[in-house]
Amino acid sequence: MNINYNNIYAVVISGLLLLTVATHSALAQEKTTARIISTDAGVTDVLIALGMTKQIVGVDVTSQLPAESKIPRLGYHRTLSTEGLLSLNPSLIIGSTHMGPPETIAALKTYPLTLMQLDIASNEAMLAENIKRISALADKQQEAKPLLQHIDSRMLVIKQQQLPSNTRVAFLLHMEGRGLRLAGKGTTGNDIIALLGGENAATHNSYRSVSAEALLSLEPEVIIIAGQKGEKSVAGLMQSNPMLRYTPAGKQKKIIAVESHLLVAGISLKAIDAVAELSSQLYPVATP
Amino acid sequence: MQRLSLSLFLPLCVFLTAVAIVLSLTRGAMSLSATDSLLSVWDVVWGTAYSNLMEYQQLVVLDLRLPRTILALLVGAILAQCGAVMQGLFRNPLADPGIIGASSGAALAASIAIIFLPAWLAGVGIPIAAFLGALLTTLLVFKLAQGDNGTSVIMLLLAGVAVAAFGGAVMGFLNVIASDQALRDITLWQMGSVASASTESLVLCLLVLLMNSWYYQRHAQALNALLLGEAEARHLGIDIERLKIKLIAVTTMGVGVTVAVAGIIGFIGLVIPHLIRLLTGPDHRSLLPLSALLGALLLLLADIGARLMMAPSELPVGLLTAVIGAPFFALLLIKQRKAFL
C-alpha cells in the first residue's frame, strides 16, 4: 500500500473544482427527460400525482408505489449510499431535510445533478409550498393546480368540522406486541391534532412509550390510533388495554384509527385526506 | 489440524488481499468498466490519462470506492491486531477489544455527544467523544481489576461486563429521552460503516496502525512468554504489570480510533487472531502481522458484500461481521465449556 494519499486527495480536490465548473454545461439538460430519485414518501406521492411516475428512477423504502412498479429501492432515507444513488444516473434528487448521512449529501453536491431538500410539511401551507417548488422544478405548474385545489377543498372540510376548542386529544402509535407510543410535540401526530383543532394531551417531545394508566391520567377526550390494520387497531387496543374504556374518549366512543403509513412523511397529500376523514368521523352529528 | 507453513500462508493472504482490493475498486452499485476503474486510480497516482471513464465516474472510483477500501483495510487490520494482543494478554481466546469495555464506552460517549452537542460541533465532537469514552471506561475497568497482587484477569473480564451492562442501561435511558432524529443517528452509528472515509480518518488510522504494529512487535516475545503463565513470565524477568498497562493503553487507542471513524464493528478482533492461531500457530511474532493482514482482508470482503448485496441500497458492515462472527463465537464457547466443566 505505498500510495501517497495526499497526492490522491490533492488531485481529487482539484478534479472536484474542475468538475463544478463543468457541471454548469451539463445542467443545461432538457427537463422533460429528467431522471428523478425521490427519497421521501411525501415527495413520491406528489410526483405520482403530477403524472411523473415514468420519470422516477429510484425511491426510498417508505415511498408507496403502484403495485406493478419495478422502481428500485434505495433503502432508508437517512442511510443513503452515494454510489447507490449515482448508479441510477439521476438528474434530479428530491428528498427531505432529513436525508442523510451528511457525507452522502456533501458528496452529491459535487456531481452534475440537482439536489432539492424540502422541509417536512407540518401543515397544509408548507405542503402547498413543497408542491409548488417541485412542480416549478419539473415544469409542471399546470398539473400542480388541481393538487393545490384538492388541498384547499380538503382543508375546507377540516375547517368546517373542527373539534370544540381545548379538546384533549391523545395520538397513539400502536405496534402489535410492542405497546403504545404517545405522540408528543414535534411529531406528525401533533400536527394532525392541530389540524383537527384539538389540543395534544401529551406535553413531551417526540414519541414516548406510555402505559394505559398514564393514558387514563391524561384524560383524553379523543384518542387517535395509528396502526397497521386500520379499524382493527381500535379493537386490538381496547382488547389489550380494557382500561381505556374509562377515559372520556372511551365513554364517548371517540376512539378512532388511522393508517400508520400515512405518518412517515409529515402532512402529505395522503395525510391531508386522512385528516379530513378523521374530522368527519369525529364531528358530532346533530341528533334530531 | 494441519498447520500451514508461513511461506505458503503469507503469499496466499497477500494475493487474496490484492484480489479483494481490485474487486473493491471495480465493483459497486454503479456498473463501470473494471479496467477503466483501475486505470483511473493509476492515472491519479502517476498523472497519466489512460482511463476512458467520464469525469464523474472517475470520481465514483476515486472519491467513493478508494477511500472506503483503504479505510476498511486499516480498520480491519487495527481491530484484528488489538484482538490478538488482548487474547494474548488475558490468555483467553474469548477476549476481544470489546471485553475491556472500550467499545461500549466509545458508543456511550458518542451517543451522549449526538444528543447533547450542538450541530456545528458534532462532526469533530462525536469521534473525540468516542475516543475519550473508550479511554475512560478502560481505565475504570482496569482500576476495578487492580488488586494487591496485580491485575486479576477474571476481575478484568467481569468489570468489562459490568461496564458494558451499565453502558447499555444508560443507552437505554438515552433512547427514552432522545429525539427521534438523534435516536436514529445513534442506531446507525452503532452499526458501523466504512462508507464515510475522510482524509483525516485515513491518516489517523494509518498512523495508529503503524504505531501499534511497531509497538506490539517489540513486545511479541513478552506476549509469547505470557503464554506460559504469569508466574513463569515473571521468572523470565518480564515486568508483567507494566506490560499489561502499556499494552492495554495502546490497544484502547486502537479501538477508540476505529470506533470513532467507523462506528462499532464487532467480531473481527475475536475471529481473526483465532483463525491465524489455528492455521499457523501461536507465536506472536507471526501472529500479530498475519492477524493485521487477514483482518484487513476480512473487513474489506465484508464491506464489498455490504455494498453489493442490497444495491442500490447499502448494509452496515458491522451487520455482516456480526453474522459471520457470532456463530463463530458460539462455537468457541462450546469448545471452551469443556475446559470450564
How would you label B300-339 residue by residue, b for 16+ Cβ within 10 Å and e otherwise? bbbbbbbbeebbbbbbbbbbbbbeebeeebeeeeeeeeee
Rg over CA atoms, chain A? 23
User: What SS3 class is residue A38?
Assistant: strand
Q: Where does chain A show beta strands of DSSP type E? A: 36-38, 56-59, 92-96, 114-118, 168-174, 180-183, 199-200, 207-210, 222-227, 255-259
Give phi and psi for A200, each to the nearest 5: -70, 125
Query: C-alpha grid cell for residue A11?
Result: 488531485
d(CA A239, CA B108): 38
Residue contact B314–A16, C-beta within 8 A: no
Q: Give the pLDDT of residue B181.
A: 67
Q: Give the pLDDT of residue A24.
A: 43
Instruction: Write down the mean pLDDT value for chain B.
Output: 83
Residue contact A78–B184, C-beta within 8 A: yes
Asked if residues A77 and A100 have their Cβ atoms less than 8 Å apart, the reply is yes
Q: Give the pLDDT of residue B114.
A: 78
Residues of B with Cβ-Cβ distance to A83 under 8 angstroms: 28-30, 60, 64-65, 307, 312
d(CA B306, CA A83): 13
Residue showing cell 431522471: A35
Residue contact B29–A86, C-beta within 8 A: yes
Residue showing cell 488481499: B17
Give phi and psi for A93, each to the nearest 5: -120, 120
**pLDDT-based confidence at B1, cuts 50/70/90?**
very low
From residue A216, how far is each of A200, A239, B3, B302 by CA, in Å?
14, 15, 68, 50
Query: C-alpha grid cell for residue A7?
Result: 497526492
- Chain B interface mutation, best of A62, A73, A83, highest count of B Cβ atoms under 10 Å: A83
pLDDT digits (tens, 9 = 90+) for B186-219: 766 677 888 878 888 899 899 999 999 999 999 9
Question: Can you give the pTM of this predicted structure?
Answer: 0.79
pLDDT digits (tens, 9 = 90+) for B39-81: 888 888 888 888 888 877 888 888 889 999 999 999 999 999 9
Asked if residues B67 and A82 have their Cβ atoms less than 8 Å apart, the reply is no
**pLDDT-based confidence at B152, cuts 50/70/90?**
low
pLDDT digits (tens, 9 = 90+) for B248-285: 888 888 888 888 888 888 889 888 998 898 888 889 99
Rg over CA atoms, chain B? 21
Q: Give the pLDDT of residue B338.
A: 64
d(CA A221, CA A169): 6
Q: Give the pLDDT of residue A133.
A: 94
Higher pLDDT, B32 or B311: B32
Residue contact B63–A61, C-beta within 8 A: no
Residues of A with Cβ-Cβ distance to B196 under 8 angstroms: 101, 103-104
How would you label B31-48 residue by residue, b for 16+ Cβ within 10 Å and e otherwise? ebeeebbbbbbebbeeee
User: What SS3 class is residue A71?
Assistant: coil
Classify the phi-psi angles of A162: left when phi > 0, otherwise alpha if psi is within -120 to 50, otherwise beta: beta
Q: Give the pLDDT of residue A14.
A: 56
User: Beta B146-147 vs A222-227: how paired, if at all?
Assistant: unpaired
Q: What is the mean pLDDT of residues B215-225?
A: 93
| Residue B107 lies inside a defined structural domain of this protein | yes
Query: C-alpha grid cell for residue B316?
Result: 452496515
d(CA B288, CA A160): 74
Residues of B with Cβ-Cβ distance to A1 under 8 angstroms: 70, 73
Q: Give the pLDDT of residue A196.
A: 95
Q: Give the pLDDT of residue B2.
A: 53
Q: Give the pLDDT of residue A136.
A: 92
Nearest-by-Cβ selection for B63 from A107, A186, A187: A107
CATH number at B46 reads: 1.10.3470.10
Q: Give the pLDDT of residue B297.
A: 96
Q: Give the pLDDT of residue A28.
A: 42
Residue contact B313–A209, C-beta within 8 A: no
Nearest CA in chain A to B65: A83
Residue contact B55–A15, C-beta within 8 A: yes
User: What SS3 class is residue A149?
Assistant: helix
Cα atoms in the 13 Å half-sphere on the side-chain side of B272: 33
User: What SS3 class is residue A87?
Assistant: coil
| Residue B155 lies inside a defined structural domain of this protein | yes
Residues of A with Cβ-Cβ distance to B59 under 8 angstroms: 12, 15-16, 19, 110-111
From residue B291, how far is each of A9, A266, B243, B300 by CA, in Å?
29, 49, 21, 14
Q: Give the pLDDT of residue A23.
A: 46
Low-confidence stretches of chain A (pLDDT < 70) are 1-32, 176-178, 230, 285-288
Nearest-by-Cβ selection for A81 from B63, B199, B313: B313
Residues of B with Cβ-Cβ distance to A185 under 8 angstroms: none
Predicted confidence (pLDDT) at residue B27 exceeds the cutoff of 80: yes
Residue contact A78–B188, C-beta within 8 A: yes
Q: Give the pLDDT of residue A25.
A: 40
AA identity, residue A280: S
d(CA B245, CA B36): 49
In sequence order, what are the residues at sequence separation of 6 or more whose Cβ sits closer than 8 angstroms to the Cβ of residue B44?
A7, A8, A11, A12, B62
Q: Which of B98, B126, B131 is nearest to B110 (CA)?
A: B126
d(CA B109, CA A240): 38
Residue contact B56–A112, C-beta within 8 A: yes
Query: C-alpha grid cell for residue B174?
Result: 438515552
User: What SS3 class is residue B229?
Assistant: coil
Nearest CA in chain B to A11: B44
d(CA B295, CA B272): 6
Q: Give the DSSP H/E element, type plus range, for residue B179.
A: none
Nearest-by-Cβ selection for A83 from B29, B184, B202: B29
Query: C-alpha grid cell for residue B153?
Result: 484477569
| Residue B1 lies inside a defined structural domain of this protein | no
AA identity, residue B177: I
Asked if residues B263 and B191 have their Cβ atoms less than 8 Å apart, the reply is yes
Domain boundaries, position B10:
6-340
What string of DSSP letters covers B26-85? H-SSS---HHHHHHHHHHHHHT-------HHHHHIIIIIIHHHHHHHHHHHHHHHHHHHH
Residue contact A9–B310, C-beta within 8 A: no
The β-bridge partners of A169 are A200, A222
Q: Which of B197, B205, B170, B164 is nearest to B186 (CA)?
A: B170
Q: What is the dihedral of CA A14, A15, A20, A24, to 10 degrees?
A: 130
Give the total number of structural domains in chain B: 1
Give phi and psi for A78, each to the nearest 5: -95, -10
What string of DSSP letters covers A107-139? HHTTSSSEEEEEPPPSSHHHHHHHHHHHHHHHT
Residues of B with Cβ-Cβ distance to A98 under 8 angstroms: 181
Q: Give the pLDDT of residue B111.
A: 80
From residue A24, how far is each of A19, A40, A85, A111, B96 by CA, in Å?
9, 27, 20, 11, 52
Nearest-by-Cβ selection for A84 from B62, B311, B316: B311
Nearest CA in chain A to B201: A5
Asked if residues A227 and A174 have their Cβ atoms less than 8 Å apart, the reply is yes
